[in-house]
Amino acid sequence: MKGKIAFEEHCAIAETLESTRAFAGDSGIWEDFTRQILDLGSERLEGMDRTGIEFAILSLNAPGVQGILNADEALAAARKGNDWMAEAVAKHPNRYAAFATLPMHDPDIASAELTRCVKELGFKGAMVNGFQQKDDPENTIYYDIPEYRSFWATVSELDVPFYLHPRMQIQSQARIYDGHPWLMSAPWGFAVETSIHSLRLCGSGLFDEFPNLKICIGHLGENIPFGLWRIDARMRWSRRAYRGQRPLGDYFRDHFHITTSGNFNDPAFKCTLDVLGKDKVYFCADYPFEHMKDATDWYDATTTITEQEKLQIGRTNAINLFNLDLK
């Protein structure tokens, strides 16, 4: 299919690149990967041409500024990354848009940078890589806490989607992975981290306060669609400190938008479509952590959806969600 739109497509600046190195491990991909993630020019655009991806919304790599402990340093890196993505968008406005990178140490500073990115740079929303580490590596901030309601008020007012991207858990909470470091990141741990953060948002009353919030998550829903029915079923027994007015599944189905990033697999795709419906599901690749071709070979060939649905999930849904100026 031509004309696909993808929006979990990463780039990096020098200040954030190293934070990703640990994930490459001993796989020998670091050199190619570095070239690809630093490039917003011909290699990426030609890859998009070859695979039928017309348009990409760019975002910085993970953990990026969420792993920078010092708030000033993180703000400087975020502004640099955002300005750099804005330049690429200005150069290729019919191929790229961008998501704001936000230092989340302080809700007001995060709100100000998001506002600058959306109002001055024309960005389409934010991509945040999970919890923010602040000052001490053990100090982690999840955004369901009451102190962050002012940030969500800004997101609500700007009316842009917020993409919650995975990152790895901190060392002190990783004992369950002892002896199995392969399990900690994208193969499984990423989904644990992002699903819990997503469910925290659902259970915090956030969506009662701001009914127009739109949260994007990748990887076909970080395993939540498969478990959603059971969450509500079991919560009939225990709802301790659950602060939502409605069952959790209602918030997830109403507020979450789910992408195919890094999960090119029909059984999971079917489950996500069954749970969320075709208006809430979107094509994404997750380049350069994934090959564009792996994403598009699967998507173009899947028989799980009709050709008309392919156009909707691969393109029109994204045009509508982000108000893109594409036909």
What positions carry a catalytic annotation? 286
Which of 286, 312, 315, 321: binder of Zn ion (CB under 5 A)? 286
What's the min distance (Å) between Cβ of 59 and ligand GRE? 9
For the sheet with 96-98, list strands across it.
Answer: 4-11, 53-60, 96-98
**CA 135, CA 161: separation in Å to the nearest integer?**
28
Q: Does 288 bind ligand GRE (CB under 6 A)?
A: no
How near is the Cβ of 168 to ligand GRE at its closest, in Å?
Answer: 8
User: Which of ligand GRE, Zn ion, none interacts with 106 (beta carbon under 5 to 8 A by kind)?
Assistant: none
Site for ligand GRE contains 62 (CB under 6 A): yes
262 touches ligand GRE by CB under 6 A: yes
Binding mask 238-277 for Zn ion (x = CB under 5 A): ----------------------------------------
Does 81 bind ligand GRE (CB under 6 A)? Our answer is no
3-class SS of residue 299: helix
- The reply on whether position 193 binds ligand GRE by CB under 6 A is no
Is 289 a binding residue for ligand GRE by CB under 6 A? The answer is yes
Q: CB under 8 Å to 167, separation ≥6 — which residues?
A: 62, 63, 66, 67, 129, 130, 131, 190, 193
Site for ligand GRE contains 61 (CB under 6 A): yes
The phi, psi pair for 149, rounded to 5°, reads -65, -30
For 13, 171, 178, 318, the CA distances from 18, given in Å and listed in that order, are 9, 18, 24, 31
The partner in contact with residue 23, picked from ligand GRE, Zn ion, none with C-beta cut-offs of 5 to 8 angstroms by kind, is: ligand GRE
* Neighbouring C-beta atoms of residue 209, cutoff 10 Å: 12
Cβ atoms 256, 280 nearer than 8 A: yes
Q: Of 60, 20, 10, whose CA–CA distance to 287 is shortest?
A: 10
Question: Can you give the binding site for ligand GRE, defined by CB under 6 A?
Answer: 10, 20, 23, 61-62, 185-186, 262, 286, 289
